[in-house]
């Protein structure tokens, strides 16, 4: 049986007591007769001192159980940089619970200079780094705070399918071939948009989900192939009621996880055209001093155009095709659609978009008109969205919602530049997964079952 464990973080309260610690060797310094090592568990680090007989065979990365006495360090040896810098453990007994090869990367520092691919190849080691452990713990608290705050406001957490039909959010779909229906495909959700609207028809009224969304896009530092959204939808509310509720929610969550009040309340509301004119962007950074870590400047951007012209398309939804036109502009829809304003809103934090949403179209006639303006033919509308239009013929309440980019919110609050620093197992810059290195070939038998053939034959398999 394992001896009763003291966590390293608790050792500061155990001076002159005997304890048993469990953890990993974080670094080791051999001073001849005496060996010094830093032992790490998830609560912290402590310096351990012992003689060669006890610690001589121990190496970096080993998992140990160490019995010993916690001692105060002489004043001149106190290290202010770590929480246990005033104490050390004098070893009496060491048990090696697991050996380790020499780790291929140093996990004692911030790790910012280590090649990304190496960090992701050995992500389970990289995550031992205190900076990333802190990020994981923060992410956990953020998720709990979100759940708590929304539940307390009467929202129900409801999960929706991942194998489903394409919902347009402006990106390419990930497709999953069906074995039972050969030649047919599921699409992984770009967002749960249509399901959450169906839940409003179902009478749920207040829904949320921390949903995984999949978008097959070219990668950037703030994008992965999959990401988490705090997805929210509610019924019988106006745009301004949605904004007020979401603002209360986000202030509560941020203040809870940061443990301090934020000052930029209430959030300013800026019309899209005004933001473009004044700040030359629809994601203005309103911080007074952007070099000040910890300053948070939120802003709502409202009154977006319903459509935009892009480099590849004459007309495209600015948000997604379920966004309601501003009723004042409805007459313009048939004549000058690019001039129509919508009921879309974005939430911006320190110059980055952290959430976007809208009041939705609930009139099937208007919804059809929008699909047509976007160039969909009747048959295609029926095939792709017939289910939603049909649902809307059975009493659809007025509704709207929003979705937050969870990873991005976590990264900004932690002061991290990339969302990869707040995700346990992110993909690398070319879309390969950490540690497991997907995508990978599958065997011919699996392809055959799916009724699929790849164009370029795998040389390993045809040889």
Q: Which stretch binds ligand ASP (CB under 6 A): 2-10, 132-140, 400-408, 447-455?
A: 400-408
Nearest to 181 by CA among 161, 168, 165, 193: 165
Shortest Å distance, C-beta 441 to ligand ASP:
32
Q: Which stretch binds ligand ASP (CB under 6 A): 52-60, 134-142, 377-385, 399-407?
A: 399-407
356 in contact with ligand ASP (CB under 6 A): yes
Shortest Å distance, C-beta 193 to ligand ASP:
4
- Name the one residue in this structure whose structure tokens are 């090592």: 37
Q: Which stretch binds ligand ASP (CB under 6 A): 83-91, 235-243, 278-286, 351-359?
A: 351-359
Nearest to 431 by CA among 224, 229, 214, 227: 224
Shortest Å distance, C-beta 357 to ligand ASP:
4
Shortest Å distance, C-beta 404 to ligand ASP:
9
Q: Which residues contact 306 (CB under 8 A, 6 or more apart)?
A: 317, 318, 323, 325, 326, 329, 337, 340, 341, 342, 344, 370
Nearest to 60 by CA among 27, 15, 109, 19: 27
Shortest Å distance, C-beta 317 to ligand ASP:
11
| 188, 204, 370, 402: which one binds ligand ASP (CB under 6 A) | 402
Q: Which residues contact 343 (CB under 8 A, 6 or more apart)?
A: 239, 323, 324, 325, 326, 358, 359, 400
Shortest Å distance, C-beta 326 to ligand ASP:
16
169 in contact with ligand ASP (CB under 6 A): yes
The 8 Å CB, 24+ separation contacts for 49-58 are 49/88, 49/89, 49/90, 49/91, 50/90, 50/91, 50/94, 51/91, 54/91, 54/92, 54/93, 54/94, 55/91, 55/94, 57/96, 58/25, 58/28, 58/94, 58/96
Q: Which residues contact 379 (CB under 8 A, 6 or more apart)?
A: none
189 in contact with ligand ASP (CB under 6 A): no
305 in contact with ligand ASP (CB under 6 A): no
Q: Which stretch binds ligand ASP (CB under 6 A): 113-121, 201-209, 350-358, 415-423?
A: 350-358
Q: Which stretch binds ligand ASP (CB under 6 A): 12-20, 245-253, 354-362, 437-445?
A: 354-362
Could you give phi then psi for residue 149, rounded to 5 degrees?
A: -65, -45
193 in contact with ligand ASP (CB under 6 A): yes
191 in contact with ligand ASP (CB under 6 A): yes
As a whole number of angstroms, the distance between CA 218 and CA 224 comes to 9
321 in contact with ligand ASP (CB under 6 A): no
| 45, 357, 381, 411: which one binds ligand ASP (CB under 6 A) | 357
As a whole number of angstroms, the distance between CA 308 and CA 338 comes to 6
| 246, 403, 412, 427: which one binds ligand ASP (CB under 6 A) | 403
CA dihedral 100, 106, 107, 112 (to 10 degrees): -150
Q: State how beta strands 269-271 and 298-302 pair.
A: parallel
| 358, 362, 367, 433: which one binds ligand ASP (CB under 6 A) | 358
Tokens of 305: 């155009």
Nearer to ligand ASP, 91 or 301 (CB): 301
CA dihedral 444, 446, 448, 453 (to 10 degrees): -60
416 in contact with ligand ASP (CB under 6 A): no
Shortest Å distance, C-beta 455 to ligand ASP:
32
Shortest Å distance, C-beta 226 to ligand ASP:
13
367 in contact with ligand ASP (CB under 6 A): no
Nearer to ligand ASP, 24 or 207 (CB): 207
Residues 89 to 118 in contact with ligand ASP, rule: CB under 6 A: none
Interface with ligand ASP (CB under 6 A): 169, 191, 193, 320, 356-358, 401-403
């Amino acid at each position: 049986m394992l001896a009763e464990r003291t966590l390293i973080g608790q050792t500061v309260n155990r001076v002159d007591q005997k304890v048993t610690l469990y953890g990993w060797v974080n670094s080791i310094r051999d001073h001849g007769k005496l060996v010094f090592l830093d032992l790490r568990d998830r609560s912290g680090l402590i310096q351990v001192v012992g003689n060669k007989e006890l610690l001589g065979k121990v190496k970096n990365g080993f998992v140990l159980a160490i019995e010993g006495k916690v001692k105060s360090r002489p004043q001149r040896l106190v290290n202010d940089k770590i929480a246990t810098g005033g104490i050390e453990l004098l070893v009496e007994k060491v048990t090696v619970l697991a050996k380790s090869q020499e780790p291929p990367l140093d996990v004692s520092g911030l790790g910012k200079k280590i090649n990304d691919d190496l960090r992701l190849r050995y992500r389970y080691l990289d995550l031992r780094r205190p900076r990333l452990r802190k990020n994981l713990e923060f992410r956990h608290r953020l998720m709990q705070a979100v759940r708590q705050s929304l539940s307390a406001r009467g929202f129900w957490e409801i999960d929706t399918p991942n194998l489903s039909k394409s919902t347009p959010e402006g990106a390419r779909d990930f497709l999953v071939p069906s074995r039972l229906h050969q030649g047919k495909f599921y699409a992984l959700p770009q967002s749960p948009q249509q399901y959450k609207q169906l839940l409003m028809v179902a009478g749920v009224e207040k829904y949320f989900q921390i949903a995984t969304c999949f978008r097959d896009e070219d990668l950037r530092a703030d994008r992965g192939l999959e990401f988490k959204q705090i997805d929210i939808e509610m019924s019988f509310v106006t745009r301004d009621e949605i904004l007020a509720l979401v603002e209360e929610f986000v202030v509560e969550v941020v203040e809870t996880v940061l443990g301090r009040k934020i000052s930029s309340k209430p959030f300013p509301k800026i019309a899209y055209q005004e933001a473009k004119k004044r700040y030359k962007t629809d994601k203005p950074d309103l911080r007074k001093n952007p070099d000040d870590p910890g300053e948070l400047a939120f802003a709502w951007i409202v009154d977006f155009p319903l459509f935009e012209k892009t480099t590849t398309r004459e007309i495209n939804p600015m948000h997604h095709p379920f966004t309601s036109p501003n009723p004042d502009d409805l007459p313009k829809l048939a004549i000058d659609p690019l001039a129509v304003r919508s009921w879309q809103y974005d939430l911006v934090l320190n110059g980055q978009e952290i959430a976007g949403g809208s009041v939705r179209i609930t009139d099937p006639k208007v919804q059809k008109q929008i699909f047509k303006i976007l160039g969909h033919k009747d048959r295609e509308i029926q095939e792709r969205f017939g289910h939603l239009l049909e649902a809307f013929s059975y009493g659809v309440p007025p509704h709207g919602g929003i979705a937050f980019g969870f990873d991005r919110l976590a990264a900004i609050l932690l002061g991290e530049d990339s969302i990869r620093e707040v995700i346990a197992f992110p993909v690398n810059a070319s879309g390969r997964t950490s540690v497991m290195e997907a995508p990978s070939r599958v065997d011919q038998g699996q392809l055959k079952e799916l009724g699929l053939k790849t164009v370029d034959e795998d040389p390993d398999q045809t040889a």
